[in-house]
Chains A and B, each alone.
Chain A
């Protein structure tokens, strides 16, 4: 899974600095910077920009991999086919549902786990951290299989362990309906990626200056007030980064759906739709159009987050 990083925020120049001229030293530094980052930048272009551009190019063709002779240019028709198909909109809806539910739950849980990791006794801290991080180290396909086996009506233990819950009994078929399937898919995603969010939040927690906490304590702030007025505002940037990464990730959900339902009962995500057109149907043109639209959606999410991120920073500085 690729991860996007935020673009560097422009530095504000000191008022006294001369306009338009760069010192020799900073010019040399800039050159060194390019020399160091250049190769990585080129590799990035090669492995990300090239496939993206090729997908955009292919999306303008009617092109089936098994029938290359009949490849023909058809402009934006593929996009029209995708956007006018209810299946696309249903997949977008399902993807959004999964994204919103998993990210919201993960944020709350992840925050709790980050607090536990910070506050845990020094002696057990390494053990706690390792234990919390284990799910993130599990390969997604493996975790999807594990959850599927757990909830499967024949092999699973969930039905017999949780039979005391209303609506659960030995014959509950979790993968037989949309709601229950999505429930298990979301559960697997949450279990798997909460450690990631808690790790990012842990970094944010560590950045909250201890002096502010002390000052608040001296002023008689309660535990809750310190959390709401000191801790959270000071780690807003970390929260936004964690949210951005996880939202981008969650929007591309594929593995769990592929393993658990294979898209049955209307549980298809946008990635799954792209997979089906490109890999299963080998309709490269149509599949590329779906992929390009998925890419645009991800870019849009990143854009919205980064915009929102800036506003939040300003608010944090100005109001509190």
Chain B
């Protein structure tokens, strides 16, 4: 306002020949100043909160849970900050594409980011994430499931704050397992599941689509067989060593082909996603499925909406992710969201303060109950309300403890894209796939081939 009012005396031009017109001009100038001032106030968010720093939180789409948490934390901060939520695209790869482009241009408007774990090394290595304060790092990793801490770490340093952690379970129809005589109280293998489905004429649902979900499946298979996609990590793309031709890699390809060729995966396996799997599993042919826990809330809401019979979710059983080899515990997929703070943000300290509020146990518990996204904090699973909403809470926690993250590398999109190209369709996975994928990814990382 001071700028505008400061201009008014000059506008009349003191001592100018047009003195008589001065009052009218002054009125006009004052009116303009008023308009400018009120517009500025409106931009600042209304009233005296113009002084409150606004933190922009870029979130993945959910059922509104992150918005609720943002509002609560803004209120609890007592005016220290206000969190404004912006929604990113639906696909995690598209979320990454947008964030990478904007952060590469030093976008200062990005304060807090909901990040999918596989992309964290890339962001950290590129210097897109502000360093986590040491005292905060200690507090936000206390009592957090192991896989979630690993997923939030790059180069032995915590670079993001663990928020919620996802894992896939083996879902089965109790009636089908019973009919097949399969004992689900202990670990089961992929072979056993396929056999049971063949015996009972039911479907095994997994994600065979050429998308990130295929990498999720393949990584779980190779980790369950005791191997890893990346055996020797490096920040130099030419030094990265892959383990696809190792015994575990061969085993993973074998199991993938075994499932895809079993004749019990439904008719469109090479295009089936998490959603199509869930739909298949809800149908009367459903037998077994590997999928994220959202399928539970999905079935319950379908019952509520009247599109699914209540007896269907009653028949749902859950167990740890299937093993590749009998006697070797499986390494279930790990997913979820961690919170990063943009390196170019003007409010790094405040943003970290806000992340600590966001990931509090109460918020995680509520988020899990309302949005179906499992917490990364172990204590949340003891919450009676969580236990009631998620009868499988203990299985989820156990699965998270033994889950394995996807390959952690700044070149994740190259590795994942290469895997998807060579292992799709899943029925084509063979003894040669490992070598072909290894050659392709190696050449792509050396910059000798397109992807």
Contact = CB atoms under 8 A, between A and B. Distances in A.
B450 A277 contact: yes
Contacts of B417: 276, 280-281
Contacts of B122: 66
Interface stretch (B79-87, B97-105, B193-201): B97-105
Contact of A154 (B93, B100, B276, B450): B276
Nearest to B103: A66
Contact of B97 (A82, A277, A279, A283): A279
B447 A282 contact: no
B434 interface: no
Given A81-B450, A286-B447, A153 B210 contact: no
A296 interface: no
B447 A67 contact: no
Nearest to A176: B270
B267 A87 contact: no
B213 to A, nearest CB: 12
A277 B451 contact: yes
A65 B268 contact: no
A171 interface: yes
B49 interface: no
B279 A154 contact: yes
Nearest to B273: A154
A93 interface: no
B271 interface: yes
A175 interface: yes
A314 B53 CA distance: 70
Give the size range of B's interface with the partner: 20 to 34
Interface string B410-434: 1001100100000011000000000
B388 to A, nearest CB: 32
Contacts of B271: 153, 173, 175-176, 264
Contact of B93 (A67, A153, A280): A280
B126 interface: yes
Contacts of A82: 450
Contacts of A171: 267-268
B100 A153 contact: no
A252 B407 CA distance: 34
Contact of B104 (A66, A87, A172): A66
Nearest to A65: B104
B448 interface: yes
A201 interface: no
Contacts, number: 82
B126 A87 contact: no
A88 B450 CA distance: 8
Contacts of B450: 81-82, 85, 87-88, 273, 276-277, 286, 290
A281 B412 CA distance: 9
Interface in B100-125: 100-101, 104, 122, 125
Nearest to B449: A85
Interface in B268-305: 268, 270-271, 276, 279
A279 B125 CA distance: 18
B211 interface: yes
Contact of B414 (A67, A68, A153, A281): A281
B448 A262 contact: no
Interface in A171-186: 171-173, 175-176
A193 to B, nearest CB: 25
A261 B270 CA distance: 11
A140 interface: no
Contact of A173 (B100, B126, B210, B270): B270
B126, B267, B276, B425 — which one has the most chain A CB atoms within 10 A of its CB? Answer: B267
Given A173-B268, A262-B210, A281-B414, A68 B104 contact: yes
A134 to B, nearest CB: 27
A62 interface: yes
A277 B414 CA distance: 10
Given A66-B122, A81-B450, A262 B211 contact: yes
Contacts of B279: 154
A51 to B, nearest CB: 15
Interface in A30-65: 62, 65
Interface in B389-419: 410, 413-414, 417
B124 to A, nearest CB: 10
Contacts of A68: 104
A153 B209 CA distance: 13
Contacts of B126: 66-67
A273 B424 CA distance: 18
A281 B268 contact: no
Interface in B244-270: 267-268, 270
Interface string A283-320: 10010001000000000000000000000000000000
Contacts of A175: 268, 271
Contact of A281 (B125, B413, B424): B413
Given A66-B410, A176-B270, A276 B451 contact: yes
B201 to A, nearest CB: 15
B413 A81 contact: no
Contact of A65 (B93, B101, B449): B101
A153 B413 CA distance: 29
Given A154-B276, A281-B417, A81 B448 contact: yes
A71 B154 CA distance: 23
Contacts of B449: 81, 85, 87
Nearest to B101: A65
A66, A171, A176 — which one has the most chain B CB atoms within 10 A of its CB? Answer: A66
A66 B100 contact: yes
Contact of B210 (A81, A264, A290): A264
Given A82-B450, A153-B268, 7 more contacts: A65-B100, A66-B125, A87-B450, A154-B268, A262-B211, A265-B270, A282-B101
21 contacts: A66-B104, A66-B122, A66-B126, A67-B125, A68-B104, A87-B449, A153-B268, A170-B267, A171-B267, A173-B267, A176-B271, A264-B209, A264-B271, A265-B270, A273-B450, A276-B450, A279-B101, A281-B414, A281-B417, A282-B100, A282-B104
Interface of A: 62, 65-68, 81-82, 85, 87-88, 153-154, 170-173, 175-176, 261-265, 273, 276-277, 279-283, 286, 290
Interface of B: 93, 97, 100-101, 104, 122, 125-126, 128, 209-211, 267-268, 270-271, 276, 279, 410, 413-414, 417, 424-425, 447-451
